[in-house]
């Protein structure tokens, strides 16, 4: 595989949420083209909000694509609820099809949360007036869904004949069950639908049925995703050791960390490659004090020369700056505290992806400034193109725009040179050796990737969005070059 082909494929995987059109036989030989992409939908449990949040998908073209996926394809929903059910149960519609003709005709993909009994994944359809309602469900353990964590739910549909389909369901990457979707259960009514709704079921002028309060992203894929979920043969692996365990220490030298190293709370999102020399390189998130997709997260790498039997010590490739008000006093998982909207006072390096080609190892990492990570990301460009070259933009507290140019010198919106300099900045890579330390007349005035109320926040800061950085190594993961920002 050539380098340019390899990198193109990798980037398609890094950018997470997309809807895939067409079927391909090789990821290396075909470009993956998104056909629908919906992100950061905030659902408030009422009809007006659900209708507004569904505008992008509720078109005749997208309706056809959703119907097609429910016949033979795949739909993935990433979601979280705003609160936990303390008493009783709650049925929630994640994605539904309905019609303007009648309030008694719909099909819905959803879940049921219970305070005491097992949670469930639901599939329900109603075909006409009266009691003609059919519901299929898959039972889960208690409190799997009754929480405020992010979850990923994938439905894959495979048409077995002209009157039947089989639906396989995956929750957070695990196969949790199958449902046979017979002609009388779903196909009987699907052709009459003309409304697609996120976060409930639109049934005419009636209140929203199965309303959802929470957040959602949506991915719809055709047969390609279904193939990825096909079970593979189980093979016996050679003797190996565990790569990362809770408590395995790292030491990035970050201020206020334990100088003897941080016993990492959770390692997540591993990636692994084998180099031309036969060495294994593995990368992962080192989520130092929590499990969330934001907060103090470093990217670490380990290598093995004996096919994974033993591994060298953690090598911290990137640990973005953390603000002064981030609480490092305890391991929140160990203490039974699961913060979903707190401990955001840090920039983030997250979701590493490794690739090796022609003697070079590539490490792709998503970078987020101090925030809730991708949840707070804006679609506004973080850069300015001047005479064919991209430059990074910065902003002050009044949202005035500045531009970082050669040698890290910062210019204001009128093109005037300021007293600000980003330390160690490279205008070619759009990154800095200091990871964003900002100087004013030679004095440190914070970090451009920190923007909150802590004392390390920069007087100027980058836009809250997701940046894709690429590190390279030509010595099998022992050392890594300064990252290059691939985002613009």
DSSP output for 357-387: ETTEEEEEEEEE-SSSGGGG--SS-SEEEET
Helix then strand then coil, in percent of the chain rounded to 5, is 10, 40, 50
Interior angle at CA 295, CA 290 and CA 296, nearest 5: 80
CA-to-CA dists, residue 128 to 99, 124, 190, 329, angstroms: 11, 13, 12, 58
The residue whose two tokens read 């309706």 is 63
Residue pair 77/109 in contact (Cβ under 8 Å)? The answer is: yes
Distance CA 269, CA 284 (A): 5
Residue 344: what pLDDT?
A: 87
- Looking at residue 182, what is its pLDDT? 60
Mean pLDDT by groups of 10 residues along the chain of 488 residues: 38 31 32 55 90 86 78 82 89 89 83 89 75 79 86 83 78 84 52 84 83 79 47 51 81 83 89 94 92 89 92 94 84 50 84 95 96 85 94 96 97 96 97 96 97 94 96 96 96
Q: What are phi and psi of 374, to 5 degrees?
A: -60, -25
């Amino acid at each position: 595989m050539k380098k340019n082909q390899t990198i193109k494929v990798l980037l398609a995987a890094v950018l997470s949420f997309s809807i895939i059109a067409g079927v391909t036989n090789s990821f290396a030989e075909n470009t993956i083209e998104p056909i629908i992409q919906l992100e950061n939908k905030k659902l408030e449990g009422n009809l007006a909000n659900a209708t507004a949040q569904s505008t992008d998908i509720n078109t005749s073209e997208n309706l056809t694509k959703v119907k097609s996926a429910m016949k033979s394809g795949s739909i993935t929903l990433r979601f979280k609820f705003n609160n936990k059910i303390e008493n009783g149960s709650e049925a929630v519609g994640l994605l539904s099809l309905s019609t303007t003709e009648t309030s008694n005709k719909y099909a819905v993909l959803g879940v049921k949360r219970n305070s005491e009994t097992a949670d469930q994944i639901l599939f329900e359809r109603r075909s006409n007036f009266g009691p003609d309602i059919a519901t299929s469900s898959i039972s889960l353990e208690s409190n799997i869904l009754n929480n405020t964590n992010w979850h990923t739910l994938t439905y894959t549909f495979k048409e077995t004949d002209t009157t039947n389909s089989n639906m396989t369901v995956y929750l957070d990457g695990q196969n949790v069950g199958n449902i046979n979707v017979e002609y009388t259960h779903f196909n009987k009514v699907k052709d009459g639908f003309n409304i697609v709704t996120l976060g409930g079921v639109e049934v005419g002028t009636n209140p929203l049925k199965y309303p959802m309060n929470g957040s959602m992203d949506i991915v719809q894929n055709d047969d390609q995703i279904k193939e990825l979920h096909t079970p593979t043969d189980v093979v016996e692996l050679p003797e190996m050791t565990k790569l990362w365990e809770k408590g395995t220490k790292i030491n990035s030298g970050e201020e206020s960390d334990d100088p003897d190293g941080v016993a990492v709370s959770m390692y997540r999102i591993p990636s692994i490659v084998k180099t031309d020399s036969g060495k294994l390189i593995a990368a992962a998130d080192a989520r130092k004090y929590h499990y969330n997709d934001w907060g103090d997260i470093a990217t670490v790498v380990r290598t093995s020369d004996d096919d994974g039997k033993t591994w060298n010590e953690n090598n911290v490739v990137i640990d973005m700056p953390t603000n002064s008000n981030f609480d490092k006093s305890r391991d929140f998982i160990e203490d039974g505290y699961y913060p979903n909207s707190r401990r955001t006072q840090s920039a983030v390096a997250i979701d590493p992806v490794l690739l090796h080609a022609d003697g070079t190892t590539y490490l792709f990492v998503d970078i987020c400034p101090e925030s809730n990570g991708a949840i707070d990301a804006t679609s506004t460009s973080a850069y300015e193109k001047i005479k064919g070259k991209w430059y990074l933009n910065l902003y002050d507290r009044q949202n005035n725009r500045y531009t970082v140019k050669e040698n890290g010198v910062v210019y204001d919106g009128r093109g005037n040179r300021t007293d600000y300099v980003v330390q160690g900045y490279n205008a070619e890579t759009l990154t800095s050796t200091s990871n964003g330390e900002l100087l004013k007349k030679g004095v440190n005035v914070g970090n451009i990737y920190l923007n909150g109320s802590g004392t390390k926040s920069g007087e100027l800061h980058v836009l809250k969005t997701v940046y894709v950085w690429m590190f390279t190594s030509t010595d099998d993961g022992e050392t890594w070059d300064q990252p290059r920002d691939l985002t613009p």
